[in-house]
Structure 1
């Protein structure tokens, strides 16, 4: 069917539930202070069924501590706008090379056999340092979680989508990076910056690979976001580097990521998008 040069007046009227009937897997949605949780809530509010992945032992070992999965999923369900949509959760240690494919299979089964939207939000915190401090174990740990698992998730997701009719609409992949390519870089987190940089670099290649299956691939850099990991004078110093005088909040990148999941963003692919609120390094 030929594409019209301009949409009809009726099609311009915004659907309040643009993701009704779509399904999404959000990784790293393990606590209510995080970006993954905010993304899951937005997707649910737009009508999508959502599978929340979590790995509680990781957060339990961090200064911010772990949340209870039942509390996270209950809060996402409160935002769910479509009474027929499902919100489910499940664990997964993505440092295990078998875990990404198993997670895709589990999420697809829970969501009715299909995943439309993959948001790879998870990452390893800690176990890092400067160039002089890092070692092979640190590099390997970040590679396994921050990069290898994301690519294996995309691989398993693409294979699942390949079983659908050709060019089934709604295919979306969103990966996360951290501004390591912007002025100043991340000299204190070399392992993390290296592996996140790999995701930014592979974005274009993945988008070209998956374009024939009507899947868009984009990567979002959310900038500094208040996810409960910093307090005191350091927190105030970072806040002053934003023109608005505040940190980014988890819902700031969540709004962009959710828009990328809608049909309005079907012409945006292969991009690394900085959503930093004018942050000045």
Structure 2
């Protein structure tokens, strides 16, 4: 998106990563922002805990403060813990997963829509006549069970389920779509997990970050203005496995 000319606000929350087996990369957000900015991109960062109901509005306000307008939201944040099987399930983790993965996404969409409406009411507002773009990310729960991550699976499945309703609510002012990227190698999987997934993939490899990024870049670009309310699996055939 930066390469396509977008100004981008990157969001992160390192304490979540610190809970994971691979730990937090405390310089990750800043390093990514610096790398994108070095190529001439307009990039800012924001740190927010999306378990806080006020965080989505704060993120939208941060984008408006930095860039003066907001045209696109890509909700690729997620909370996941690898120990939430049915036997270990508790209300606290269910609530946290829904708060981050589902509630925060819905509130981001709400705040985005409100910001777009307010901008459209201003005289000669730049870009007000261009439909906004929203992309949600789900995780392919319909393509296979995730018995060790039940709260994550439930809360991400909700995003795929709500996509048509959000699209109808925001048409014709914004498009809303959802991407299922399938297994994507962002460095989290150990050798055993990597090998087991590769063995079931029709193309014999995991997805790469750019595979998902290319689809998202298209959905937020000018050629996808007629696409809304869709859940798009760009998963290298993961959903075809037997």
> TM-score, normalised to structure 2's length?
0.91
Contact between 1:128 and 1:138, CA under 8 Å: does it hold in 2?
Answer: no
Report SS of the residue matched to 1:143. Answer: helix
The SS at the match of 1:243 is coil
1:231 and 2:190 aligned? yes
1:187 aligns with 2:147: yes
Secondary structure of residue in 2 paired with 1:163? helix
- Aligned partner of 1:249 in structure 2 is 208
In 2, the alpha carbon distance for the partners of 1:70 and 1:64 equals 18
| Cα-to-partner distance string for 1:177-202 (whole Å, 9 max, x where unaligned) | 000122x3322211111111111111
- CA drift at 1:128: 4.7
Gaps of 5+ in 1: 1-42
CA distance in 2, matches of 1:271, 1:177: 12
- The aligned residue for residue 52 of structure 2 is 96
Of 47, 65, 68, the residue aligned with 2:5 is 47
Aligned positions, number: 232
- CA distance in 2 between counterparts of 1:143 and 1:261 reads 26
Q: Match for residue 126 of structure 1?
A: 81
Select 1:159's aligned residue among 103, 108, 114.
114
- Tell me the distance in 1 between the aligned counterparts of 2:195 and 2:169: 43
Query: Following TM superposition, by how much is the alpha carbon of 1:234 offset from its aligned partner in structure 2, in angstroms?
Result: 2.4
- Greater displacement, 124-133 / 49-58: 124-133
Contact preservation (8 Å) 2:80, 2:149: no
- C-alpha offsets along residues 207-249 of structure 1, whole Å, 9 cap, x if unaligned? 0000032x00000011000111112222112112112211111
Checking the alignment, whether the CA contact within 8 Å between 1:128 and 1:192 is kept in structure 2 is no
Query: Over aligned residues, Cα RMSD in angstroms?
Result: 1.6
2:71 is matched with 116
Q: What is the correspondence of 1:1-281 to structure 2 with a 5 Å cutoff?
A: 43-67=1-25, 68=27, 69-80=29-40, 86-112=42-68, 114-126=69-81, 128-165=83-120, 168-182=129-143, 184-213=144-173, 215-279=174-238, 280=241
Q: Which runs of 5+ in 2 are unaligned?
A: 122-127
User: TM-score, with normalisation over the residues of structure 1?
Assistant: 0.79
- Runs of at least 4 residues of structure 1 off by over 4 A? none
CA contact (8 A) 1:127 1:138 kept: no
Q: Judging changes above 3 Å, is the alpha-carbon distance between structure 1 residues 128 and 63 closer, same or farther for their aligned structure 2 residues?
A: closer
